[in-house]
C-alpha cells in the first residue's frame, strides 16, 4: 500500500528515503530490500527514488555513509570521563548499534558489497576517527607511538569482528562481548 505523498524539500525527501532504507537494511539482508518498497513506503514514485539514488548500490553506499556518521555521533566520547570509561561508553554504544543494525553490519562486512571502494573508504574514515578519539584521551606519549597507533587500529578491527560474530552466532551475551573487547584493549595498551 502506497503511503500518501507529502510535499518535502529535496533535502527532506533525501533524508526520508535514507531513513526508510536504513530501517529496512537494519531488518533484512541487502538482497531482500527492494528500491520499489522504499519508494512505496515514502509515498514517491520509483522514478523519483532513482532521481536521488541511481541504483540500489548507490543508495546503500549513502546509507552506510549516513549510518557511519550516526555511529560516530552515538559513540562520541564524554571527555570529562577517564580514558577507560570513555572507551567503555563508546564500546557500549557500538555494541548496541551493532545489535540494532545486525543486517546492515553483515551487509557491509560480508558478500558483494565488501569490495566496494566507497564503502571501504567510509569504514576507513570511521576507524581513523575512533582511533584518534582514543589517542586523544591517552597520555600524550602514546599519540606518537606507532605501536600504540597500530594496536588501536587492530583493536578497532577486532571489536568490529567480535560484534559481527556476536550478531551472527549469539554464543556470548552482551556483557561478555563488552568484557572481551575491553580486556583486549587493556592487554594491548598494558593499562
Nearest-angstrom CA–CA distance, 120 and 105: 13
| DSSP-assigned letters across all residues of 5-54 | P----HHHHHHHHHHHHHHHHHHS-GGG--HHHHHHHHT--HHHHHHH-S
Domain boundaries, the chain: 10-54, 58-189
Q: Are 103 and 29 in contact (CB under 8 A)?
A: yes
CATH superfamily membership of 58-189: Tetracycline Repressor, domain 2 (1.10.357.10)
User: The domain at 10-54 falls in which architecture?
Assistant: Orthogonal Bundle (1.10)
- Measured in whole angstroms, how far is the alpha carbon of residue 108 from the centre of its chain? 9
Q: Kindly state the helix (H) or strand (E) to which residue 105 belongs, with its residue range.
A: helix 102-109
Q: Are 105 and 86 in contact (CB under 8 A)?
A: no
Confidence category of residue 102, pLDDT binned at 50, 70, 90: confident
pLDDT in tens, 16-49: 999 999 889 888 888 899 999 999 999 999 999 9
pLDDT score at 113: 66
Amino acid at each position: 500500500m502506497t503511503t500518501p505523498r507529502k510535499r518535502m524539500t529535496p533535502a527532506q525527501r533525501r533524508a526520508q528515503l535514507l531513513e526508510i532504507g536504513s530501517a529496512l537494511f537494519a531488518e533484512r539482508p541487502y538482497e531482500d530490500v527492494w528500491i520499489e518498497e522504499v519508494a512505496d513506503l515514502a509515498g514517491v514514485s520509483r522514478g523519483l527514488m532513482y532521481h536521488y539514488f541511481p541504483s540500489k548500490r548507490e543508495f546503500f553506499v549513502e546509507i552506510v555513509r549516513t549510518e557511519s556518521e550516526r555511529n560516530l555521533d552515538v559513540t562520541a566520547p564524554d571527555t570529562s570521563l577517564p580514558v577507560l570509561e570513555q572507551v567503555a561508553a563508546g564500546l557500549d554504544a557500538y555494541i548496541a548499534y551493532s545489535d540494532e543494525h545486525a543486517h546492515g553490519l553483515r551487509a557491509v562486512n560480508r558478500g558483494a558489497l565488501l569490495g566496494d571502494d566507497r564503502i571501504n573508504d567510509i569504514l576507513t574514515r570511521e576507524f581513523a576517527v575512533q582511533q584518534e578519539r582514543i589517542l586523544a584521551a591517552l597520555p600524550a606519549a602514546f599519540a606518537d607511538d606507532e605501536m600504540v597507533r597500530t594496536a588501536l587500529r587492530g583493536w578497532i578491527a577486532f571489536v568490529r569482528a567480535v560484534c559481527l560474530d556476536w550478531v551472527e552466532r549469539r554464543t556470548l551475551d552482551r556483557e561478555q562481548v563488552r568484557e572481551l573487547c575491553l580486556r583486549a584493549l587493556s592487554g594491548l595498551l598494558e593499562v
